[in-house]
Structure 1
Amino acid sequence: MLEQCKRVGIKLESKVESIDFKDQYIVVADGQKYQSESLVIATGGPSIPKMGATDFGLQVARQFGIKTISFRPALVPFTFHQNDIDRYFKDLSGLSVDAMVSCNGQSFREGVLITHRGISGPAILQISSYWYKGDEISVDLLPDLDASDWLLKMQLDRGKAELKTILSKLFPKRLAIRLADTLTDQPLSSLPLGQIKQSDLKALGATLNNWVLRPSGTEGMRIAEVCTGGVNTDELSSKSLEVKSQAGLYFIGETVDVTGWLGGYNFQWAWSSGWAAGQVV
């Protein structure tokens, strides 16, 4: 690819010093002036800045008076306050479960991974795109079961078994113990099911199906796979990505306020939007 770029005269790692428009677009980069009738901004978003990512695209858009939406990290793990980490997640880093995670009317059922700072995994990365600071998330740890009914049935069938033994059928043992000891008003993990009040089992089951957590934040731009935000799509032609109010100026890829799910959708958007603009410049 580098050889192909070199062959057609594409210059890499150039620093843009200024962009102006006077009948044509004038770009000054590394002290050299370039002029053209069209200018395509394909500079992505600011996620993973150690790779050189910035919000340059939004700076250009604002220079030309184009409406933008501030970038936010997306497809990114959640972090929690230390008291929540100590209570729920301490010493459990690396354990994962299948769960349904919901926030702001969206839900994803995939893996949830406990980290030393909070939770990650595909379901968390997906829902992070819909989460805003201060929002709660709901985690259904047993999406295929009515957990309350199941626990009451286990109480009838296996009343002498300790709760942690029963929950270990569904969760890693260390996580089973932690859930049984923290999701109700008192530790229950070492109690035989027959000695636990039905009301406590129902309360535990309800929380297993709807564990409400409030993340303190995310891991931020440093490891976010993509961003939400960018150039407002209302400002662009849906066919060519040309700015409606500025002839010859195009924005494509992650610089635009279009964010996909995990699974290659963001790559596809970058390629497809680039192709659309490339047909007309």
Structure 2
Amino acid sequence: MRPAPIPPASEPLQYRAIGLVRGRYQPDPEVFTKGSLIASDGACLDAVLLGRVLSLVKKHIDLSQEHLWVVYPRTRDREGGLHVQIVGLWEPEMLTKRSQLTPGIRPPSPPKLQVSENFFSIRGEVVFTRPDLQRVVVRISQQTKTEPGERPAGFKLVLQGTLDLRALHHFWDFQVERQGEALVVRQAEAVAALPGRRPKPKPRGQGQPERRPASHVGQTGEARPQRSTLPRRLDPSDRPRPQASGQKAPRPIKSVRLPSADAGSPEEE
């Protein structure tokens, strides 16, 4: 049992997704930890029991009656729908009776946060919004150990509501109400802007194909040979011949100026 069904956030940027659903848990005949949560409004939600509440449900809970369950919500991105993970039970009256019969168990303290049934607290980063479709996607980062520079693990929740595009990559605090299998935003508050993430550079290692220069293809479709970038080998006949010792180099031929065509040729006498 919890001292409060949904306590206030412990820090401004605390990621979380938690809520309350009143209903009756119907376990699977073969697997007790998997089943359905039949809500008081008639909605049938896929549900699983986590280990921390399994012993309590088996020993002290009458599953034929409705109870107020503390759940973690999960949504399917494409198919839609809501399924929950049951993590606790909120019934102070039952715990008070048990504390009177069992020594060492103290009655619960008064709730710190008054919430109603079907209330959910969603805190995370807005990664997608479509005001025309009333669709908001929030990413919830989980507190797990990660390597430096690695993105923490998390999941996404689909909410029904309207947010401006300027809400992207900001941390938001949502107060949500469950309506059937939809999580409808009732109140939203922007907490802080989150720093942008740069894409990780791809390492150049083994296994990558070698880049080859593109071949030049003519109009006929045949590949034309590429011009080599290596220095051309000289032919022996192209090399300058050395001068013999003592032999004078030939003088350059002087240019002779020819008479122009206007002067004409001399007449014969």
TM-score under structure 1 length normalisation: 0.19
Give 1 or 2 for the bigger CA radius of gyration. Answer: 2
Greater share of helix = 1
Structure with a larger share of its residues in strand: 2
- TM-score (normalizing by structure 2): 0.20
